[in-house]
Chains A and B, each alone.
Chain A
Amino acid sequence: MAYKYCVKENWGKDFFTHEERRMFHLEGHPGNVWIVGDNNHGDAWIAKISGTVKTKSEAQAIVTGVIETAQGVWDNDNVDGESSDEKIRRLGSKPATYNII
């Protein structure tokens, strides 16, 4: 399956509808990156939200950048005397970068 990539902040209600979810693939990622099924319905949705179209590598860079920032926040959030296991229990695991589809 082919995908398109765009950036747009979710404005809330009706940003994506049930009908749109049935018509094309849609994934939201950190940095307001959206992976959109490459069909007429996906194109219409990108136009509806006035999404800024990105290449896959541009989208990947945005997602990775946001997660790396989150990793820095996680690294710097420490409590005196807290073990690494306790930190994971408190904050959840350290955010990990990943490859988008």
Chain B
Amino acid sequence: MTDFKAIKGFTVQSIATNPVPTVAAWSSGGNMNTARSQLAGAGTQTAGIVFAGDTGGASDSVDTELYNGSSWTEVNNLNTGRVALAGSGTQTATLAIGGAPNRTNNESFNGTSWTEVGDLNTGRPALYAIGTTTASLVFGGNPNKNETESWNGSAWTELNNLNTGRSDLSGAGTTTAAVAYGGEGGLTNTEKWNGTSWTEVNDLPTGIFGGWGSGVQTNALLFGGKTPAPANSAVTYIFDGTNWTTGATMGTAVYQPAGSVGGTGATALQAGGDVGSYNAGTQEYNNYAGDTTQTHQNEGQVYYNTTTNLLKLTATVYGTGTWASGGTLNTGRSDSAASINGTQDSSLIAGGAGTSGRVAIAESYNGTSWTEVGDLNTARSPVAGAGTATAMLAFGGETPSAQVALTEIWNGSSWTEVGDLNQARYAVGGAGTSTSALAFGGESPVVALTESWNGSSWTEVADLNLARSFLAGMGTQTAALAAGGSPPNRAQTETWNGSSWTEVADLNTAASRLAGAGSQTSAIVFGGFTPSVTAKTESWNGSSWTEVNDLAAARRNLMGTGTSTLGLAIGGTPDGSAQPGATEEWTVPATVSNVTVASS
């Protein structure tokens, strides 16, 4: 048999387990069999257990499920169904404690079945538990309970109270070194337990209630829950024994989930909860930073897994992109110049057509909001752009009296007129930077003309194969992409190699007045006119276009910037008269994963 070295000429590392991420991250796990919220859990990420909860049914759930790190299996039911209970222990030695309505019930699971054991002294829901079946601690509960009780394997004993009574709190640690945090109403209070009493310490940065906690007193996690807004939280908060910091963001924000108990804080499990509906989803947290016992992921690394006998590759895997709302322009408009090679959190537009006519206004985006900066010297539209938020070029356009060849350069604080285009025109496609740009197409009349900018003047270079205006331009001066345009609405795509244009695969839907973001080999186009105003988005992989998720709001004559994975759709008009100024942000989730190399 030919080995990999014989084929590729180098050896491949063989390891028994897949490399782990170098940074903390959440990933999705297997779905539970029964979707529910207000359940409880215990165990670890690879040996977890959940039980009870609200499924939306007529009675509280008695269902118990076990997790093996990838899938859930139903096992024997609890004796007493309930919601808002607490859990402690492991997958094979678990306690199910309290719950609504004011239950004192306490059941012990031995890996096979549940048995009723000693009741709590104070029955209550929305309490939290840590520990094992022989040494557990419960604290808090509804309404605003401050009671703390300790379990010794056979009975509960009342201990010193929390300083701040609360329900829907979370916690971590052991019976001798615990920490309690958050609570109903969005409490930020954090208290440390030393085996005898609670002491208030530094608060959470944001009040959270109905989240899940795990880890130890010096590396405690809080994930999920609700903020005071109220809004489901996807944030992970990490307590180092003194201070809270913000950690990895969950893929799905979830309220009142269950999860793993205790552990070291390096791994955690979240299961179920409320995501606007009853949730069966599971998410897994891993933080291997600084763990020298693990092989860490190295993107691009090929290796052989000797346990699964599979050739693997560590690579970035992209999910499905979606558009979310971004900040609203101060002056709603269409047909502005955009910093085509800006980023989702640093971009600039200038000029364009507002509701009351052409504008000179420029606005800068920081990922959250738009701020007015220095105006263009000449108000005009439709004007083309190239460059970034700090070094941009605006060229062409039309004033009330004439189409213009004007070019202006932005240095981060003001616009300066520089060398004109050779041919005055508007609705031009743009690519490149403020010192090496490309202008292609435009009108009137509609032309195929291409001009190249060297930082001081424009030079005519080879024409587009198809004359058109109102097209989308992306890329650089030596590797540009032109898509769509009119008249009539066009599907044609061309690539520029620095000296000539080549026709490549068409858009799926012919469109003009569209916008784009990205490079010659990886881009998106969105919005436009088809001949109705459209929200369509198409993704380019260097050889073909694929329809992906639409903009939320259809519009034409909009602007684009960013990349194919982190793009920005700016302004535009839904009907030709209104200029609402909405921004949408395109994000394709990306994770570094260990993927199997196909054998054929």
Contacts and interface: CB of A to CB of B under 8 A. Distances in A.
A39 B322 contact: no
- Main SS of chain B's interface residues? loop
Interface string B253-270: 100000000000000000
B546 interface: no
Contact of B253 (A13, A19, A40): A19
Interface of B: 231, 234, 252-253, 275-277, 320, 322-328, 368-369, 443-444, 487, 513, 529, 531-532, 535, 549-550, 552-554, 556-557, 574-578, 580, 582-583, 587
B578 A30 contact: yes
30 contacts: A10-B325, A11-B328, A12-B327, A12-B328, A12-B369, A12-B583, A13-B369, A14-B324, A14-B325, A16-B324, A16-B552, A17-B325, A18-B587, A19-B252, A19-B253, A21-B549, A22-B320, A23-B275, A27-B535, A28-B552, A28-B574, A30-B575, A41-B275, A69-B577, A70-B578, A89-B487, A92-B513, A92-B576, A93-B529, A94-B576
Given A74-B577, A93-B531, 5 more contacts: A12-B582, A13-B326, A23-B275, A48-B231, A70-B578
B577 A89 contact: no
A92 B276 contact: no
B255 to A, nearest CB: 11
Given A10-B325, A21-B322, A70 B577 contact: yes
Contacts, number: 101
Nearest to B250: A19
- Give the size range of A's interface with the partner: 35 or more
B582 A73 contact: no
A91 interface: yes
A29 B532 CA distance: 13
Interface in A65-97: 66-67, 69-70, 73-74, 86, 89, 91-96
Q: Which 9 A-B pairs have CB atoms at the shortest separation, nearest pair first?
A: A28-B553, A70-B577, A40-B277, A15-B325, A70-B575, A12-B328, A41-B276, A21-B322, A44-B276
A30 B574 contact: yes
A15 B581 CA distance: 14
Contact of B443 (A66, A74, A89): A89
Nearest to B323: A21
A41 B324 CA distance: 15
A12 B325 contact: yes
B59 to A, nearest CB: 21
Given A21-B549, A28-B552, A93-B531, A13 B576 contact: no
Contact of B552 (A21, A69, A92, A93): A21
Contact of B324 (A21, A28, A29): A21
A74 B554 CA distance: 19
Contact of A13 (B277, B322, B325, B553): B325
Interface in A41-75: 41, 43-44, 48, 66-67, 69-70, 73-74
Contacts of A12: 325-328, 369, 582-583
B252 A92 contact: no
A86 B426 CA distance: 14
Given A21-B552, A73-B576, A89 B444 contact: yes
A29 B323 contact: no
Given A16-B325, A41-B275, A74 B576 contact: yes
Most buried by A among B320, B552, B580, B582: B552
Contact of B582 (A10, A39, A44): A10
Contacts of B553: 10, 27-29
Contacts of A17: 324-325
Nearest to B573: A92
Nearest to B587: A18
A9 B568 CA distance: 20
B324 A96 contact: no
A95 B576 contact: yes
Nearest to B580: A10
Contacts of B275: 23, 41
Given A66-B578, A70-B575, A70-B576, A92 B556 contact: yes
Given A28-B553, A92-B556, A98 B325 contact: no
B326 A92 contact: no
Contacts of A66: 575, 578
Q: Give the residue among B487, B578, B582 with the most A Cβ atoms within 10 A.
A: B578
A30 B578 CA distance: 8
A70 B355 CA distance: 11
A69 B355 CA distance: 13
Contacts of A16: 324-325, 552
Nearest to A98: B532
A18 B250 CA distance: 13
B327 A13 contact: yes
B217 to A, nearest CB: 32
Nearest to B335: A92
Contacts of B322: 18, 21-22
B277 A39 contact: yes
Nearest to A15: B325
Nearest to A17: B324
A92 B487 contact: no
Nearest to A21: B322
A73 B557 CA distance: 17
Contact of A40 (B276, B326, B532): B276
B457 to A, nearest CB: 29
A92 B574 CA distance: 11
B575 A95 contact: yes
Contacts of B580: 10
Contacts of A15: 325
B401 to A, nearest CB: 11
A40 B583 CA distance: 26
Given A18-B322, A92-B557, A93-B529, A29 B368 contact: no
Contact of A67 (B234, B535, B556, B575): B575
Contact of B574 (A22, A29, A39): A29
